[in-house]
């Protein structure tokens, strides 16, 4: 089932004129006859509309900073902000060579629990006392403080509290001014987290993990164990994973990130700033990858081997791919028989909707509607350059930058790179252009691309297009169920995972087949079937 331009007009017809004009720019029907279809993204949600987006605090503390397992992450704000953002993302962590079990705080929730008197008289003293208590009780290697909305409104200087605590205790205390209301979505929080970690943590260590092919994985948060599956495959081929940012990562690893040969970027949206800054500052190239989907994982592994341009590595890559495919392909084939020709609706944060198109295609399914909550235009329109690792270590100091459509975001990047504005501009001029790859190029004609969907549009598109499966977020999952359509929740994978790599693809295939074929959905009457709705 497809939607026509007329159908889209009907969908927008209920809006007042100004809203209609605004929302129209966030909706596209893919048409390959148009050279570059542009979509409006990363702009403010219309007040009053029920968006699926999160806040700046969610992007900073929840997404980028929170998964670092051996730092205590203090939420300076009301208890609700801390409690409801605690544990739900399912970013898993475990002890390893550098981090013993007692140094892992991922399962604990730390907050100053601001009350009315703290709002009236200020919360700095309370925060300072809390840091003292944390140090005394847990002896963490380092601490983060994340501010929520009221902290910005009353003007607590968390930076000053952090600096004083750092002197008192001799450990690093990082302050993030990531008040929820900043920016237009969690994307602002990613940026704040990236800048602070780049400026104060990365580059402070001196230990590179041993190996011939030493890489980092950026933008992999180990949701449901995704990072562990990716690491299993990479280690088997012969790579050393120097650090994962930030899934199951430690403060120690992040200090040493700059000592690897190459950064892989899995989630481009939340961490591209660090990839770019590390390229400029340390000459470390980066490769945009996708470990979601069988074909996508094979393609990624082959591109990665090509970066190192090493025959032995390329050979070993093919061996591992052949071995894994022998196990995975019969399983995928089995589920493809059940799922072939079925359609999906995918609406996730800022990168997964695109990644999961690949895994669905492995299963013979098509994502007929795809969208992002808070992605920027380059996530829709895309960009990728395949870098080459230079064998001479010194030559790695030649910086290259990737030009992007939303380049204005990097206006302040030189500050964090300790470069003058002129030097930064000079480097930017000599950037080679690469080919574009993103959500839009991977969509087929007639399919729908939507930015910052709201509850009304979600329901209307499901009603018109009747997908067999909806890949949702935490809240819209229940809209899907009320509409009588099965869903998989793609943020925390409900209670399961991993979905990445070869093993993850098999788990996803089984769960999607179960979801789509379960008889329960036939017992639900969709609103458009009960005779009371519009059609
Ligand atoms: Fe990156 Fe993510 Fe995503 Fe994201 Fe997120 Fe997430 Fe996401 Mo939820 S970092 S942009 S801010 S891939 S928490 S692990 S699932 S919205 S699509």
pLDDT digits (tens, 9 = 90+) for 498-522: 999 999 999 999 999 999 999 998 8
Q: Which of 278-287, 390-399, 425-434 has the highest mean pLDDT?
A: 278-287
In this prediction, what percent of the chain has a pLDDT beyond 70? 89
Residue 132 has what pLDDT?
Answer: 98
- Which of the two residues, 279 and 192, has the higher pLDDT score? 192
Residue 99 has what pLDDT?
Answer: 96
Q: What does the alpha-carbon distance between residue 516 and residue 487 come to, in Å, rounded to a whole number?
A: 8
Residue 402 has what pLDDT?
Answer: 40
Q: What does the alpha-carbon distance between residue 51 and residue 72 come to, in Å, rounded to a whole number?
A: 31
- Which of the two residues, 272 and 360, has the higher pLDDT score? 360
pLDDT digits (tens, 9 = 90+) for 294-347: 999 999 999 899 888 889 999 999 999 999 999 999 999 999 999 999 999 999
Burial track 226-260 (b if 16+ CB lie within 10 A, e otherwise): bbbbbbebbeebbbbbbbbbbbbbbbbbbbbbbbb
Residue 427 has what pLDDT?
Answer: 57
Instruction: Please name the residues in contact with 367: beta carbons below 8 A apart, sequence gap of 6 or more.
Output: 343, 344, 345, 346, 353, 356, 357, 360, 443, 447, 471
pLDDT digits (tens, 9 = 90+) for 201-250: 999 999 999 999 999 999 999 999 999 999 999 999 999 999 999 999 99
pLDDT digits (tens, 9 = 90+) for 386-428: 455 544 433 333 333 343 434 444 455 555 455 677 766 665 5
Rounded distance from Cα 351 to ligand 1 centre (Å): 7
Point out the ligand 1 atom lying closest to the alpha carbon of residue 490. Answer: 15
Q: How many CB atoms lie within 10 A of CB 132?
A: 12
349: DSSP letter: S
Q: Hey, which residues does 445 pair with through a beta bridge?
A: none
Q: Is the pLDDT of residue 79 over 90?
A: yes
Rounded distance from Cα 71 to ligand 1 centre (Å): 21
- CB-based contact 488:315 (threshold 8 Å): no
pLDDT digits (tens, 9 = 90+) for 89-141: 999 999 999 999 999 999 999 999 999 999 999 999 999 999 999 999 999 99
Write down the mean pLDDT value for the chain. 90
Q: How many CB atoms lie within 10 A of CB 40?
A: 16
Please tell me if the CB atom of residue 223 comes closer than 6 angstroms to any atom of ligand 1: yes
Q: What does the alpha-carbon distance between residue 220 and residue 243 come to, in Å, rounded to a whole number?
A: 10
Rounded distance from Cα 527 to ligand 1 centre (Å): 30
Three-state DSSP at 91 gives: strand
Please tell me if the CB atom of residue 194 comes closer than 6 angstroms to any atom of ligand 1: no
Point out the ligand 1 atom lying closest to the alpha carbon of residue 187. Answer: 11
Q: Whole-prediction pTM value?
A: 0.90
Residue 384 has what pLDDT?
Answer: 47
Residue 398 has what pLDDT?
Answer: 34
Point out the ligand 1 atom lying closest to the alpha carbon of residue 62. Answer: 13
Residue 421 has what pLDDT?
Answer: 74
Residue 474 tokens read as 């935490």
Residues in the chain: 535
Residue 403 has what pLDDT?
Answer: 38
- CB-based contact 104:95 (threshold 8 Å): yes
Catalytic site positions: 55, 58, 89, 190
In degrees rounded to 5, what are phi and psi of residue 52?
Answer: -100, 5
Banded model confidence at residue 160, pLDDT cuts 50, 70, 90: very high
Residue 437 has what pLDDT?
Answer: 63
Residue 128 has what pLDDT?
Answer: 98
Residue 283 has what pLDDT?
Answer: 85
Residue 375 has what pLDDT?
Answer: 96
Nearest residue (CA) to ligand 1, atom 7: 349
Three-state DSSP at 156 gives: coil
Mean pLDDT, to the nearest integer, of 33-38? 80
């Amino acid at each position: 089932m497809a939607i026509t331009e007329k159908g889209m007009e009907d969908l927008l017809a209920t809006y007042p004129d100004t809203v209609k004009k605004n929302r129209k720019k966030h909706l596209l029907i893919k048409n390959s006859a148009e050279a570059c279809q542009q979509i409006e993204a990363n702009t403010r949600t219309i007040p009053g509309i029920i968006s699926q987006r999160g806040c700046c605090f969610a992007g900073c503390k929840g997404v980028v900073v929170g998964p670092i397992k051996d730092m205590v992450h203090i939420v300076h704000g009301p208890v609700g902000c801390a409690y409801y953002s605690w544990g739900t993302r399912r970013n898993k962590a475990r002890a390893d060579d550098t981090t013993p079990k007692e140094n892992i705080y991922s399962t604990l929730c730390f907050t100053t629990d601001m009350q009315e008197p703290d709002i009236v008289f200020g919360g700095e003293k309370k925060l300072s006392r809390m840091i003292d208590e944390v140090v005394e009780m847990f002896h963490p290697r380092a601490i983060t403080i994340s501010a929520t909305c009221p902290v910005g409104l009353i003007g607590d200087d968390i930076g000053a509290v952090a600096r004083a605590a750092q002197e008192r205790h001799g450990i690093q205390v990082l302050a993030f001014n990531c008040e929820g209301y900043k920016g237009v979505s969690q994307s602002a929080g990613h940026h704040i987290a990236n800048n602070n970690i780049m400026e104060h943590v990365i580059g402070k260590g001196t230990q590179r993990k041993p190996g011939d092919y030493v890489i980092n994985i950026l933008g992999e948060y180990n949701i449901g164990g995704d990072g562990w599956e990716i690491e299993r495959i990479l280690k088997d081929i012969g790579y050393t994973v120097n650090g994962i940012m930030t899934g199951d990562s430690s403060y120690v690893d992040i200090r040493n990130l700059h000592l690897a040969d190459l950064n892989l970027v899995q989630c481009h949206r939340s961490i591209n700033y660090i990839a770019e800054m590390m390229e400029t500052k340390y000459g470390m190239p980066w490769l945009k990858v996708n470990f979601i989907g069988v074909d996508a994982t094979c393609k990624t592994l082959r591109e990665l081997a090509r970066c190192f341009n090493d025959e032995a590595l390329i050979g070993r890559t093919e061996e591992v791919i052949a071995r894994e495919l022998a196990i995975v392909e019969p399983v995928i084939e089995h589920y493809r028989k059940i799922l072939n020709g079925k359609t999906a609706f995918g609406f996730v944060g800022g990168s997964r909707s695109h990644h999961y198109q690949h895994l669905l295609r492995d299963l013979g399914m098509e994502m007929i509607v795809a969208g992002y909550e808070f992605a920027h235009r380059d996530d829709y329109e895309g960009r990728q350059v395949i870098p080459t690792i230079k064998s001479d270590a010194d030559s790695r100091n030649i910086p290259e930058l990737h030009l992007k459509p939303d380049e204005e975001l990097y206006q302040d990047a030189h500050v964090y790179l300790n470069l003058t504005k002129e030097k930064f501009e000079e480097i930017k001029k000599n950037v080679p252009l690469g080919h574009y790859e993103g959500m839009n190029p991977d969509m087929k004609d007639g399919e729908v691309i939507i930015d910052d969907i709201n509850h009304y549009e979600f329901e209307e598109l499901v009603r018109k297009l009747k997908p067999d499966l909806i890949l949702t977020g935490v809240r819209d999952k229940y809209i899907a169920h009320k509409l009588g359509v099965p869903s998989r929740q793609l943020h925390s994978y409900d209670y399961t995972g991993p979905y990445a790599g070869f093993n993850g693809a098999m788990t996803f295939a089984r769960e999607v087949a179960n979801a789509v074929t379960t008889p329960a959905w036939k017992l639900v009457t969709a609103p458009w079937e009960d005779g009371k709705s519009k059609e």
